[in-house]
Amino acid sequence: MKNRHLLKESIEALLEKYPFLGAFFEDNKLEVEGSGHLTFPEFLQGFDREAVEENAMDLESLEEGLVTYVEQMLSFLGLDREEGVWELTILAGRDKSGNPEGFDEITIRRSDIVSIVGPTGSGKSRLLADIEWTADGDTPTGRRILINGETPDKKWRFSSGNRLVAQLSQNMNFVMDLTVREFLELHARSRMVEDEEAIIGKIIREANHLAGERFDPDTPVTSLSGGQSRALMIADTAILSTSPIVLIDEIENAGIDRKKALALLVGEEKIVLMATHDPSLALMADQRIVIRNGGIHKVLPTGDAEREILAELAEMDSYIADMRTRLRQGEKLSKA
Amino acid sequence: MQLVTVSGPPSSGKTSVILKSIQALQSRKLKVGVVKFDCLYTDDDILYEKAGIPVKKGLSGSLCPDHYFVSNIEEVVQWGRKMELDVLVTESAGLCNRCSPYIKEVKAVCVIDNLSGINTPKKIGPMLKSADIVVITKGDIVSQAEREVFASKVHSVNPRSITMHINGLTGQGAYELSTLLHDGKENLDTVKGKQLRYPMPSALCSYCLGETRIGDDYQMGNVRKMEMGDGHEK
Ligand SMILES: Nc1ncnc2c1ncn2[C@@H]1O[C@H](COP(=O)(O)OP(=O)(O)OP(=O)(O)O)[C@@H](O)[C@H]1O
Ligand SMILES: Nc1nc2c(ncn2[C@@H]2O[C@H](COP(=O)(O)OP(=O)(O)O)[C@@H](O)[C@H]2O)c(=O)[nH]1
Ligand SMILES: [Mg+2]
Ligand SMILES: [Mg+2]
């Protein structure tokens, strides 16, 4: 702990320099108001033995905790400003039988979309996990992940919230009891963004753009429809999450415009990887990784003929969507 | 042998995470056993047994489970040595969010889940705050934003810990955890002379000793009363 000098400064001075310490005090239930002139250790000495036991406090680890917290927050903020990640490289490992994979290396850059296809159990999710963990030959596949051409610092693995990778959940429900606005405020604060209002406005606009039916900021998140929840999550991940890499494992598609969703993510300069069984999504990517028996079997660019097929698939999707709407409205269907 | 103590609120995913991590340890040809501590009832031993893992269970019954843990941990360690384990995992449910069975210099893992609500990290005491590794489960059921907010709350009450996200159902992240559980560096023969990371509460009242009758006459020892006011306050 090189920054022990923090323990010699007054709480007032600390809060002035590091406003994010407010959250640290609050989450640790420390009422520092009125004690701004004290140093943190002096403040802690104010608790007698009974209070310490009563609140199950650990004074020593609180002191160290404050110093570590400041160090980590500073490095997190610095990281944000650098916009540090521009490419991701996968170096080949081996498949489930121990054979070398069918490629040497794959490099993916910002704003690229890569889909991952392969039979159930073939290892699609494993590949996403390797990326999240920035594998260094230490997972069952033996793969290595490079960031900007180099073996990444292991801090990516353990930084709280894993700042390298954001993952869109398969199951998109909200459990928090908050309105859309409160929810976004909370998230914005945990990310320490500066222009909270503007960013929240933008997320809600984009989410409404993706979802069929509009919602307003005062709707409780738990009463959003499936499509609206997904739209909000995608817009939030694209805009508020600073993680440069977005992993998508089997995104459900009902109720949102998937093409716009991917365009939004890519527009925010994310590197997007998605494991999918859905042909439309697979073809929306610039290239696709084919997995077989745990290994990357080949990497295919999306060809022109395939893009035409994508257009046909889109027509079929809209045909199905149209039929769904008409059924919902109580119509009897007939062939066109 | 390496000892790992795992603790966390009921149903947070401890058993799921331990089972998946053990699979990963076994694939590295390591022998792992589990001792499960609980209060009144547990089925976990059957789950471990089914997975072919040597297991013992201890039910504390009328005793505080964490007190029971400390009084038995040395015997548990000796059992692990006799079984020639490479890694011995203890699982205990934190029942009052107050205590923790963590021992100084013994790896301590706390498992909590994303569903428990964003104020939970604030409410849990040393069990969360003094853990070396905090595993957050059930990320599959919530949004990226909720995961981030939850993790940031954990981070502010225990900045020194390593925070990991593990899916207890699919095991995503468990392989990664297993690399932290066994580093081959530690070799433990006994916990005699070691110390708890945080003292247990000093409560000792007549009810601790089996009193069942209610009323001032029966309350002895360390008794404290709630402030109820006079009923006229707004
Ligand atoms: N190269 C490999 N070596 C060893 N084990 C592997 C390898 N690749 C994948 N596995 C293991 O195979 C299992 C199935 O893989 P995974 O869950 O990634 O499949 P999936 O393609 O996502 O399947 P689904 O389509 O059902 O989601 C996992 O336990 C994974 O760890
Ligand atoms: N969806 C989901 N369920 C989980 C996850 N981890 C555990 N569970 C489920 O949560 C319940 C409690 O898990 P268990 O491991 O028994 O918790 P313990 O009481 O802490 O040992 C079980 O039904 C598990 O299947 C997870 O990551 N995601
Ligand atoms: Mg999968
Ligand atoms: Mg259990």
CB atoms A168 and B144 under 8 Å = yes
Residues A112 and A211 grouped into a single domain: yes
Which of B149, B158, B162 minimises the CB distance to A187? B149
Task: Say if A323 falls within a structural domain.
Answer: no
**Could you tell me if residue A317 is inside a domain?**
no
Task: Please indicate if any CB of chain B lies within 8 Å of the CB of A186.
Answer: yes
pLDDT of B115 over the 70 cut = yes
The predicted structure's pLDDT at residue B47: 93
Same domain, A11 and A106: no
Give alpha helix (H) positions in B84-173.
Answer: 120-123, 126-129, 144-157
Look at residues A77, A102, A118 and tell me which one is the last residue of a structural domain: A77
A23: domain range?
Answer: 4-77
What kind of fold does domain B2-181 have according to CATH?
Rossmann fold (3.40.50)
Indicate if the pLDDT at residue B83 is higher than 90: yes
Could you tell me if A145 and A224 lie in one domain?
Answer: yes
- DSSP state for residue A9 in the 8-state scheme: S
Q: Is B42 in the pocket of ligand 2 (CB under 6 A)?
A: no
Does residue A22 form part of some domain?
Answer: yes
A68 touches chain B (CB under 8 A): yes
| Number of domains, chain A | 2
Interface check A178 vs B, CB under 8 A: no
Q: Do A175 and B27 touch (CB under 8 A)?
A: no
CA distances from A96 to A118, A119, A272, A295 (A): 14, 14, 25, 7
**Taking Cα atoms as reference points, which of A235, A252, A109 lies closest to residue A173?**
A252
pLDDT band (50, 70, 90) for residue B203: low
Residue B12 in contact with ligand 2 by CB distance below 6 A: yes
**Cβ contacts (< 8 Å) between B201 and chain A: which residues?**
53, 56
**CATH, residue A223:** 3.40.50.300
Using DSSP's 3-state secondary structure scheme, residue A262 falls into: helix
Domain end point (choices A24, A43, A77): A77
Cβ neighbours of A133 in B, within 8 Å: 173, 176
Mean pLDDT of chain B: 86
Between strands B2-8 and A165-168, the pairing is unpaired
B interface test, pick of A29, A57, A190 with most B CB neighbours within 10 Å: A190
pLDDT value at residue A82:
44
pLDDT over 70 at A160, yes or no: no
Give pLDDT tens digits for A96-151.
Answer: 999 999 999 999 998 899 999 999 889 998 898 899 888 988 888 999 999 999 99
**Do residues A228 and A183 share a domain?**
yes
Picking from B141, B147, B156 by the largest number of A CB atoms within 10 A of its own CB, the best residue to mutate is: B156
Predicted pLDDT of residue B66: 80
Confidence check on the interface: ipTM exceeds 0.85, yes or no: no
pLDDT tens by residue, A23-78: 899 889 899 999 999 999 999 999 988 888 777 788 888 998 999 888 877 776 65
| pLDDT of amino acid A81 | 44
Closest CA to A118 of A287, A293, A251: A293
Say what the pLDDT of residue B204 is.
Answer: 63
Q: Same structural domain for residues A72 and A94? A: no
Across chain A, mean pLDDT equals 86
Query: Could you say which DSSP state residue A113 is in?
Result: E
Same domain, A116 and A60: no
pLDDT tens, position by position, A255-305: 677 788 888 888 888 899 999 888 988 999 999 999 999 999 999 999 999
